[in-house]
Amino acid sequence: MAQLIDAAGLSLPVSRRGFLAGTGGLLAAATLAACSPGGAGGNAGAATYGHLLPGDVPAQWDRVRAAVNTKLKADLGFEFKPSFINWSNYAAQSLLKFTSGEDFQTALSARWLNIAQLIESKALEPLDDALTSGKYPNLTAAVDQSAFDANRWPDGSLYGIPAVNSAARIHHIVARGDLIDKHAPQGITTFDQLEQFWYDVVQKEGIPGYVKNNSVFDVLGAPTGALYAQGWESPDFLPLYFSSDSLMFVPSRSAATTGSTDAVPFWQYEPYVESLHRIRKYYEDGIINADRLNADSATITAQFDSGGAATCWGITDGLDTSGHLEKLEKAVPGASLVSLLPFRDGLSAKPNQTFQADNLVVVNAAAADAEAALQLLDWVSIQENHDLLQYGEEGTDWKAVGDDAYEPVSDYANFPGYALSWRIPLERKYSRMSESEETWFEWSKDYDNFTLDPFASFIPDLTEIEKEHAQITAAVAEFGNPLWAGAVDVDEGLDKLKKAVDTAGLPKVQEELNKQADAYLAAQK
């Protein structure tokens, strides 16, 4: 959803771009407003604070971290030593670390990860008092107030700092420009043209048209998914759900005017069923990778970067070119990249969005010194510090190009800034960003290019249906995931999924979702 993406499978891979259940009790730390630097558990003595970051350790990390800590210790009196957790384990491992009361400061979370469980278990520090205290002026200046407001929980509290570099991000396609020149010289501006390109590549090049690890958002879209043709035609719809790894529901298109949500399971929405049948055909025809069900983001990225596919998943965060181009050029001399958003209405499309951030930096309530987290977040909201952490040492790892671009000069890359340091006014563009990507990236920064969804700030509460939700989530993992992958017959797969979720308590969950959504709509009037 700025999301999802995906919307959606939304994948996201950098591997946030690629993507939990649990409860537990934690002792809450004292409020941030009551903390002070150097206080109990404070900054004196150059303490080292921990942070949970997704993905692999960046190349040259020890050298860059030493430079970061030299400056951080001089400025704030402490150092930081993040723990990098592989994306395949991040959701479960981060949840476990929070609920077991480990002492670290921050982590990446979001609705598509595990923030609902973390808030329910009181594992997160509310941030409102800290942000209005005036003690973190760099942070509050670098993050627009509208981003804070859009990411409040239903109780009105803010539990995470939006780490965003645009108003919203849209799931789309990253394509080999050299193959488009060869097989679609007229260009690709519609989904039908994209599909024909995939079939031509499979037939004539002997490589998959599209590769991606498995994701419901890729197939059902929110509002777009790379494989969701209807989303490219009319990106005006977002599904509702208790959690993104559970069951998707479809609200009435007239809900905002009637006040009646009337949400139904996704299989009662014909465009979604059509998409499932399309994905099944792609799977059988070799258009998509056959290992979608179990493939990890690193494997998929390596396949595309080595020239083994015509397109892969993308998201409008300005990282598509920098994430792939250098390796692709080495593997396939003369290769190029193009960002494809085959909207029927092109740049005039106004996709529905919630403006809820894909990436939230959350503060651990069990941290011995929670204020250090806010101090670090404020520190990386200064251009010099942001650049050092995200791009490395200037001159050694990168050099400035113009006022707002950079050119890498070392192999330091892939620091997950989206999990800590992304700030719209501070981000530099990759100097070799493709023209198409730059066009869509700049478009994505403007809130006016999107339509606010009727359920934009609706976040349902799991309290009344925790047992049923957990059982439905397990059923979706067993019977839904093969459907998103195209690995099973659609009719047979849906039949098994329907029976499993019905047994797990679908009627109760559906009733609770509609009850809460109707109350939300009534409160908006």
241 inside domain: no
All residues at 6 or more sequence positions from 415 whose CB lies less than 8 Å from its CB, including other chains: 58, 61, 64, 389, 390, 391
User: Which among 490, 451, 452 has a CA at the least distance from the CA of 270?
Assistant: 490
**Is 141 a domain residue?**
yes
With tokens 């771009």, the residue in question is 17
What is the Cα 273 distance to its own chain's centre? 24
Write out pLDDT tens, residues 18-34: 332 222 222 222 222 33
What are the pLDDT digits (tens) for 453-476? Answer: 999 989 898 889 999 999 999 999
Which domain covers residue 152, as residue numbers? 16-167+357-452
Q: H or E segment at 415? A: none
Decide if 190 is inside a domain.
no
Residue 38 burial by CB count (10 A; 0-12/13-18/19+): exposed, middle or buried?
middle
Distance CA 99, CA 439 (A): 42
pLDDT of residue 46: 56
Q: Please answer whether residues 99 and 22 qualify as being in contact, where contact means their C-beta atoms are separated by less than 8 angstroms.
A: yes
How many structural domains does the chain have?
A: 1
Burial classification of residue 27, based on how many CB atoms lie within 10 Å of its CB (0-12 exposed, 13-18 middle, 19 or more buried) = exposed
143 is a domain residue: yes
How confident is the model over 333-363, as pLDDT tens digits?
999 999 999 999 999 999 999 988 889 999 9
pLDDT computed for residue 335 by the predictor: 97
CB-facing half-sphere around the CA of 45: CA atoms within 13 A? 8
Domain assignment present for residue 162? The answer is yes
| pLDDT the model gives residue 491 | 98
* Cα dist from 339 to 136, 226, 294, 410, 430, whole Å: 37, 12, 26, 25, 14
Q: Distance (Å, rounded) from C-alpha 35 to C-alpha 23?
A: 27
H or E segment and range at residue 232? helix 229-233
pLDDT at 146: 83
* CATH number of the domain bearing residue 134: 3.40.190.10
Q: Is residue 522 part of a domain?
A: no
Beta strand 106-109 with 360-363 is antiparallel
Collect the ranges in the chain with pLDDT lower than 50. 1-45
- Using an 8 Å Cβ cutoff, are 163 and 359 in contact? yes
What local confidence, expressed as pLDDT, does residue 163 receive?
Answer: 94
Q: What is d(CA 284, CA 262) in angstroms, rounded to the nearest whole number? A: 35
Q: What is the pLDDT of residue 47?
A: 84
Model pLDDT, residue 317: 87
CA distance 193 to 143: 39
> What local confidence, expressed as pLDDT, does residue 301 receive?
94
Residue 342 lies in a domain: no
Number of neighbours of residue 229 by Cβ within 10 angstroms = 19
Cα dihedral 271→275→278→279 (10° resolution)? -170
Between strands 451-452 and 352-353, the pairing is parallel
Q: Which helix (H) or strand (E) holds 235?
A: none
Pairing type for strands 210-211 and 171-176 reads: unpaired
Listed residue (170, 159, 197) closest to 10, CA to CA: 170
Q: Has residue 140 been placed in a domain?
A: yes
